[in-house]
Structure 1
């Protein structure tokens, strides 16, 4: 083999190795990325179907129901605009409480229920995830617009 052919083969092998490494890295990243969505976005079907993601908001007051097995818990998460039912089987964190912030990781089931495989409670009563805080502010603005539009009274008729 001539030196020129050897260089060409070496360059081709190096490009194939680089493409393989890049493909493996991208494949690993796509399996480990966990996107964050609000209950409103999940309700509007903006969240991926059949794939795990995170959803955050506040635990709806009086929504926590524990099953007889002691591990399965049903509750709802809200961003003050929409609520999503969540089912979790396992031990809840000590800071998990109604009306407090929570981030759950899992998938949407066919019935529209979020099946969580991990529940994370906020660590401090003053902390809220920036994404959740932004989503809650946006939901409050939208709710204010709807309230303002519905409070406009129709003209009185005689």
Structure 2
């Protein structure tokens, strides 16, 4: 064999090894993130196509006025709406300070037997900020008004 063919063979081996390493790393990253990826759904999307009870996802919208009920202990019940549909939410924990009726929120959890069981609740942090997904869902329903206008 000539020196030229040995270099070509070595180059092919290096490229093949790099391709295998890329595939293996992609599979490992996907496997590690399988529980970390939470899809966003608006209340209308949840009511149209209810997710499986074992699927963790994020829901966002406005806390519907008149629905906030503080139960015994840390349990809180309320409904989240995008103007087109409302989804009842139950949360056991401490709510953020800025959490209030008719304000934006995003929750992470599961939809079980017609109720969103939240493991985490986030509220908008000031009067002007609202998560993009929530804003888009509210605009789609014709509910969102720009606070700057």
TM-score after normalising by structure 1: 0.75
Considering fraction of residues, name the structure with more helix.
1
Task: Indicate which of 43, 60, 64 corresponds to 1:60.
Answer: 64
- Residues matched between the structures, number: 138
CA deviation vs aligned residue, 1:82-110 (integer Å, no higher than 9, x gap)? 0000000000011010111110000111x
CA deviation vs aligned residue, 1:57-106 (integer Å, no higher than 9, x gap)? 0001111111122x010110000110000000000011010111110000
C-alpha deviation, 1:29, in angstroms: 2.8
Task: Indicate which of 126, 138, 151 corresponds to 2:140.
Answer: 138
User: Following superposition of structure 1 onto structure 2, how do residues 1-158 of structure 1 map, counting pairs within 5 Å?
Assistant: 16-45=20-49, 47=51, 49-69=53-73, 71-109=74-112, 111-140=113-142
C-alpha contact (below 8 Å) 1:56/1:102 kept by paired residues: yes
User: Structure 1: which 5+ runs fail to align?
Assistant: 142-158
User: Structure 2: which 5+ runs fail to align?
Assistant: 1-8, 144-149
TM-score after normalising by structure 2: 0.79
- Cα RMSD of the aligned pairs, angstroms, is 2.5
Q: 2: distance between equivalents of 1:100 and 1:75?
A: 12
C-alpha change, 1:83 and 1:15, in structure 2 (3 Å) is: same
Q: 1: distance between equivalents of 2:25 and 2:50?
A: 32
